[in-house]
């Protein structure tokens, strides 16, 4: 008898050998040395007499195992040694190729399989279609689809889902949606396939709509669905929808899923508040590197750079290794904080990581060095990049532009253009910014031509850049033409155009555009409101300025420093210094612009001593003045006649504040000395100043000569002004006034002959008054107004009342060759008197009357308005080219010193 142990059949012996060999093979694969090598191996199949089916089964298992282990060389050897590889073997090989990113090899294997006459099944089709998706081979995908349709596998849910993905990834969304609609029983995988495909092509809004359709159809989403839709909400910036998806996540119990948790952190960081992102991060039990990178990037996005760096330190303490994404965020944080040394250390860490040059990281380094004002290092990083794409070029061009190296930025753009690297909206916007700074209008026009040839003239981002550049180059008409041609004007476009009109004295156009903007439902931002307030300030449009103030309150912009400063400036220039003071007191953080606006406003209104007290208060507050503040201080001294105080400030500017006196400071000081009658001292300052005196200086001296009837000084100042500013008629007019005041009528006649010969016309006096949001304009002896009869009747009434009160017309101020009565009539009909008369009949009793004039108020009008304000018991505020005059109770705030 045989011994009492199990007797093995030949087929069982074959299987045992295969199992042992499989164990040995799997053991050898666990060694890192053998993972990527083909190890020769003999299965000794030939020694086995039977068990062919078992051998094929185990060969397929081994083939599948080696494919999963990425040992494709050995898998291919097994496959080649098979005399009759079946469908299972082919499917296993194709599937593993696709899973490991070898799509081309998978498609070749599919061709080979069909050449042997082996037909695909529901397991082969999805792998082959996925390979077509990856390679974007739509033609082959359609052929495979045809085979699937003929063989009846198109209706299989796995095949159908893969077809949906394949068409979508190849850009055929119509076919993709049609196939999706034809799936009889759609499961969550079907929907996920469509979501994923849409999101890969940035159709995030459509993906969210599809998700709502899925919910309505009763399909329960899984964690992959929810994480995908959360990512879509992040891309759309839709925090409201993102919170709803968060609710689904909690309700369905997927909050612990790492993909969904990380997607939540990323979503809240991008579209929510940083607190919400941190809260979502803290809910993760064991945050991985993706979680940390998401919250750190969120901190950088919200410009909380210090917190981002603290989180990176926490990561290091926990033993987590920083990767390229972490270091990229760290570089942005250093750029935001200007941490040069830490930025260098991070650069060293990247070098030690011994990674290949990564464009994303290199661009981060360029950005960091540029923002830390280390352009030499930024250029070094850029020069060492082996391959520079457009993003890298944009980074270095932007760096030069940000650091005031505008010529270098333009030069690099020319190089990029010559090398045919191309450009995008970022390139054009950056270069146009440098063009505006350099006032290089010809370059702007050339870039405009290039953008039109390449199709960028319709890009709203580029359009807005051209608007801004043309406006800053004083080409308002070109900017307006572009704006009118722009079919879709957004907030940025309206802002650029409104600011341009306001800056170049076309305030009415700014206000019209704002009305158009409101009709389109575009909500303003603080910068728009600031520009509108500046327009109102230049127009002295007090009522409209108050309306803009209401809008600032309505939209919650009161905390914005630009809007606050513009309110102070508007009210000051519209004649309401009390409203300006209230607006100033409401500014939470007053900077130098805030203080300068208020000090300048007080100076213009003749409150010189109060302006100087405010300047002292500013210094106590720790705010250092700039050259504009000191101009306002000297103007305050000028309007109040504070000569000694002005000398002290002027002589101590450099010593006390480190500011060298500029042309404006000298002009202000010379004007003050001249008006105070210290003409010799004024001329001495002119002769010793380190600049050639400009028109402003000689204009001040001419005004002083007229005031003090100094003919010789007037002649010299007029002579210089005619050389510097020959187009200005006021010079000869003032000279004629000086001759007239000295009784030199022959000289007056000579000047008038010169004016007539050269066809010089005196600039007409024009006055404006705003009543019920409408600006009314008047010139001397104006009869064009619809209420002219009432206006002239009012003036006749006032003339009689003024004469009874002691008013005598100063006819000697009028140079017209007419008799006294006509001169009195002309004086009575000066533009500011007409505007005041209209204000008296068109505004409620007791309301202040605000008038603006393009020239200085003449002596006769100044005297007359003192009488009128007392007769009618009204405050009359006149803003001329030099200052404000507040006429009240028979006197003027200037103290007759203007």
Q: Would you say 330 and 299 are in contact if contact means Cβ atoms under 8 Å apart?
A: no
- Going from the C-alpha of 339 to that of each of 294, 311, 312, 317, 656, the distances in angstroms are 22, 16, 15, 21, 32
Neighbours of 423 (CB within 10 A): 21
Q: Is the pLDDT reported for residue 834 higher than 90? A: yes
Dihedral angle computed from the Cα positions of residues 484, 486, 489 and 492, in that order, rounded to the nearest 10 degrees: -100
d(CA 830, CA 816): 14
Mean pLDDT of 845-850: 92
* Ordered alpha helix ranges (H), 116-238: 124-135, 138-151, 157-169, 173-182, 188-200, 204-216, 223-236
**DSSP symbols for 485-553:** H-SS--HHHHHHHHHHHHHTT-HHHHHHHHHHHHHTTPPP-HHHHHHHHHHHHHHT-HHHHHHHHHHHH
d(CA 50, CA 813): 132
Q: Is the pLDDT reported for residue 62 higher than 60? A: no
Running DSSP on this structure, what letter comes out for residue 764? Answer: P
d(CA 407, CA 430): 12
pLDDT at 3: 36
The residues facing 877 across adjacent strands are: 850, 886
Q: What is the mean pLDDT of the chain?
A: 82
How do beta strands 849-853 and 876-879 pair? parallel
Q: Which residue has the tokens 């700039």?
A: 626
Q: Is the pLDDT reported for residue 83 higher than 70? A: no
d(CA 365, CA 343): 8
Residue 812, C-beta contacts closer than 8 angstroms, at least 6 positions apart = 740, 741
Q: Is the pLDDT reported for residue 9 higher than 50? A: no
Instruction: State which H helix or E strand residue 308 sits in.
Output: helix 305-317
> pLDDT higher for 150 or 745?
745
Q: Of 833, 841, 855, 829, whose CA–CA distance to 766 is shortest?
A: 855
d(CA 54, CA 17): 11
Residue 158, judged by CB atoms within 10 A of its CB (0-12, 13-18, 19+), counts as middle
Q: Is the pLDDT reported for residue 84 higher than 90? A: no
Mean pLDDT of 829-836: 94
- Going from the C-alpha of 728 to that of each of 403, 458, 695, 710, 724, the distances in angstroms are 40, 43, 10, 21, 10
Tokens of 47: 């020694």
d(CA 183, CA 349): 52
Q: Would you say 700 and 674 are in contact if contact means Cβ atoms under 8 Å apart?
A: yes
Q: Is the pLDDT reported for residue 287 higher than 60? A: yes
- Going from the C-alpha of 627 to that of each of 91, 454, 672, 796, the distances in angstroms are 80, 45, 18, 48
How do beta strands 876-879 and 884-888 pair? antiparallel
For the chain, give the percent of residues with pLDDT over 90. Answer: 36
Helix (H, G, I), strand (E, B) or coil at 265: helix
d(CA 641, CA 673): 9
Residue 846, C-beta contacts closer than 8 angstroms, at least 6 positions apart = 873, 874
pLDDT band of 63, cuts 50, 70, 90: very low
Q: Is the pLDDT reported for residue 864 higher than 70? A: yes
The residues facing 771 across adjacent strands are: 774
Q: Would you say 157 and 125 are in contact if contact means Cβ atoms under 8 Å apart?
A: no
> pLDDT higher for 211 or 30?
211
pLDDT at 355: 62
| Structure confidence by residue, pLDDT tens digits, 375-422 | 999 999 999 888 888 999 999 999 999 999 999 999 999 988 888 888
d(CA 574, CA 314): 56
Give first-to-last CA distance, the chain, whole Å. Answer: 139
Edge-to-edge strand ranges of the sheet holding 876-879: 774-779, 766-771, 849-853, 876-879, 884-888, 891-892
Q: Is the pLDDT reported for residue 121 higher than 50? A: yes
Tokens of 64: 């599948």
Instruction: State which H helix or E strand residue 218 sits in.
Output: none
pLDDT at 402: 92
pLDDT at 300: 93
Residue 106, judged by CB atoms within 10 A of its CB (0-12, 13-18, 19+), counts as buried
Residue 753, C-beta contacts closer than 8 angstroms, at least 6 positions apart = none
Q: Of 85, 155, 159, 152, whose CA–CA distance to 122 is shortest?
A: 159
d(CA 619, CA 590): 12
The torsion region of residue 442 among left (phi > 0), alpha (psi -120 to 50) and beta comes to: alpha
pTM of the model: 0.66
Mean pLDDT of 171-194: 76
Q: Of 152, 90, 155, whose CA–CA distance to 127 is shortest?
A: 90
Q: Of 792, 800, 798, 813, whose CA–CA distance to 740 is shortest?
A: 813
Q: Which residue has the tokens 């929510």?
A: 272
pLDDT band of 85, cuts 50, 70, 90: low
Q: Is the pLDDT reported for residue 352 higher than 70? A: yes
Q: Would you say 650 and 613 are in contact if contact means Cβ atoms under 8 Å apart?
A: no
| Structure confidence by residue, pLDDT tens digits, 232-274 | 888 888 888 888 888 888 888 887 888 889 999 999 998 878 8
Whole-angstrom Cα Rg for the chain = 41
Residue 730 dihedral angles phi and psi, to the nearest 5°: -60, -25
Mean pLDDT of 549-557: 91
| Structure confidence by residue, pLDDT tens digits, 674-697 | 988 899 999 999 999 998 998 889
Instruction: State which H helix or E strand residue 45 sits in.
Output: none
d(CA 148, CA 178): 16
Q: Of 638, 634, 629, whose CA–CA distance to 894 is shortest?
A: 638
Q: How many residues does the chain have?
A: 898
Q: Of 203, 279, 282, whose CA–CA distance to 236 is shortest?
A: 203
| Structure confidence by residue, pLDDT tens digits, 777-822 | 999 888 999 999 999 999 999 999 999 999 988 776 655 555 667 7
Which range of 43-57, 638-652, 865-879 scores highest in mean pLDDT? It is: 865-879
For the chain, the structural domain boundaries read 766-892
């Amino acid at each position: 008898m045989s011994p009492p142990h199990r007797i093995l059949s030949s087929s069982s012996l074959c299987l045992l050998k295969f199992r042992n060999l499989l164990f040995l093979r799997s053991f050898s694969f666990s060694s890192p040395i053998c993972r990527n090598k083909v190890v020769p191996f003999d299965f000794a199949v030939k020694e086995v007499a039977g068990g062919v089916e078992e051998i094929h089964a185990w060969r397929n298992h081994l083939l599948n195992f080696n494919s999963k282990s990425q040992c494709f060389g050995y898998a291919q050897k097994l496959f080649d040694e098979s005399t009759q590889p079946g469908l299972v073997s082919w499917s296993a090989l194709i599937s593993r190729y696709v899973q490991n990113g070898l799509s081309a090899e998978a498609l070749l294997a599919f061709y080979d399989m069909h050449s042997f006459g082996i037909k695909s099944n529901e397991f082969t089709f999805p792998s082959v279609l996925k390979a077509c998706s990856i390679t974007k081979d739509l033609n082959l995908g359609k052929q495979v689809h045809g085979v699937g349709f003929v063989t009846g596998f198109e209706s299989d849910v796995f095949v159908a889902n893969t077809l949906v993905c394949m068409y979508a990834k190849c850009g055929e969304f119509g076919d993709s949606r049609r196939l999706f609609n034809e799936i009889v029983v759609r499961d969550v995988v079907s929907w996920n396939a469509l979501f994923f495909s849409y999101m890969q092509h940035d159709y995030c809004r459509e993906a969210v709509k599809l998700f709502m359709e899925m919910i309505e159809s009763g399909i329960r989403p899984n964690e992959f669905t929810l994480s995908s839709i959360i990512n879509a909400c992040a891309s759309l910036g839709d925090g409201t929808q993102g919170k709803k998806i968060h609710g689904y996540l909690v309700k369905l119990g997927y909050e612990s899923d790492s993909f969904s948790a990380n997607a939540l952190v990323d979503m809240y960081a991008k579209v929510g508040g940083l607190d919400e992102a941190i809260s979502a991060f803290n809910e993760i039990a064991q945050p991985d590197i993706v979680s940390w990178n998401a919250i750190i990037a969120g901190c950088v996005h919200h410009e909380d750079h210090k917190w981002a760096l603290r989180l990176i330190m926490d990561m290091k303490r926990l033993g987590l290794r920083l990767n390229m994404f972490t270091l990229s965020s760290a570089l942005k944080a250093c750029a935001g904080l200007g941490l040069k040394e830490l930025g260098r250390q991070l650069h060293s860490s990247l070098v030690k990581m011994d990674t290949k040059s990564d464009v994303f990281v290199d661009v981060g380094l360029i950005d960091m060095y540029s923002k830390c004002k280390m352009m030499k290092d930024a250029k070094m990083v850029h020069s060492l990049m082996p391959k520079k794409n457009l993003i890298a070029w944009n980074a270095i061009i932007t760096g030069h532009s940000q650091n005031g190296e505008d010529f270098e930025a333009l030069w690099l753009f020319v190089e990029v253009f010559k090398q045919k690297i191309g450009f995008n909206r970022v390139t054009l916007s950056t270069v146009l910014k440098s063009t505006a700074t350099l006032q290089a209008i010809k370059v702007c026009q050339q870039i405009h031509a290039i953008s039109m040839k390449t199709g960028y003239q319709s890009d709203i981002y580029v359009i807005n850049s051209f608007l801004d550049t043309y406006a800053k180059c004083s080409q308002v008409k070109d900017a307006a033409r572009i704006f009118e041609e722009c079919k879709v004007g957004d907030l940025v476009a309206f802002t650029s155009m409104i600011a341009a009109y306001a800056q170049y004295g076309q305030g009415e156009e700014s206000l019209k555009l704002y009305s158009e903007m409101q009709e389109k439902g575009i909500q303003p931002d603080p910068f728009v409101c600031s520009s509108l307030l500046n327009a109102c300030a230049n127009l002295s449009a007090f009522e409209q300025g108050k309306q803009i103030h209401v809008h600032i309150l309505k939209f919650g912009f009161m905390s914005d420093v630009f809007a606050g400063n513009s309110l102070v400036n508007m009210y000051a220039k519209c004649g309401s210094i009390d409203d300006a003071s209230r607006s100033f007191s409401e500014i939470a953080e007053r900077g130098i612009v805030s203080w300068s606006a208020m000090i300048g406003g007080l100076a213009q209104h003749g409150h010189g001593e109060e302006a100087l007290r405010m300047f002292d208060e500013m210094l106590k507050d720790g705010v250092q003045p700039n050259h504009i503040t000191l101009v306002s201080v000297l103007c305050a001294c000028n309007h109040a006649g504070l000569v000694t105080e002005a000398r002290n400030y002027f002589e101590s500017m450099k010593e006390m504040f480190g500011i060298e006196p500029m042309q404006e400071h000298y002009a202000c000081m010379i004007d003050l000395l001249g008006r105070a009658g210290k003409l010799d001292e004024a001329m001495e300052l002119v002769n010793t100043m380190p600049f050639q005196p400009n028109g402003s200086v000689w204009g001040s001296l001419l005004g002083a000569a007229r005031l003090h009837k100094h003919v010789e000084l007037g002649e010299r100042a007029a002579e210089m002004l005619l050389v510097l500013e020959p187009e200005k008629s006021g010079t000869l007019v003032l000279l004629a006034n000086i001759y007239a005041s000295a009784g030199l009528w022959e000289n007056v006649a000579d000047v008038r002959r010169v004016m007539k010969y050269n066809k010089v016309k005196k600039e007409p006096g024009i006055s404006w008054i705003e009543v019920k949001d409408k600006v009314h304009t008047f010139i001397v002896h104006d009869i064009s107004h619809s209420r002219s009869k009432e206006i002239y009747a009012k003036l006749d009434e006032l003339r009689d009342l003024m004469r009874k009160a002691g008013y005598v017309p100063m006819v000697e101020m009028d140079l017209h060759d007419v008799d006294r009565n006509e001169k009195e009539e002309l004086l009575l009909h000066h533009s500011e008197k007409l505007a005041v008369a209209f204000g008296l009949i068109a505004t409620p009793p007791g309301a202040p009357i605000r008038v603006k004039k393009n020239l200085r108020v003449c002596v006769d009008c100044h005297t007359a308005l003192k009488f009128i304000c007392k007769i009618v018991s009204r405050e009359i505020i006149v803003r001329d080219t030099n200052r404000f005059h507040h006429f009240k109770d028979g006197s003027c705030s200037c103290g007759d010193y203007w």
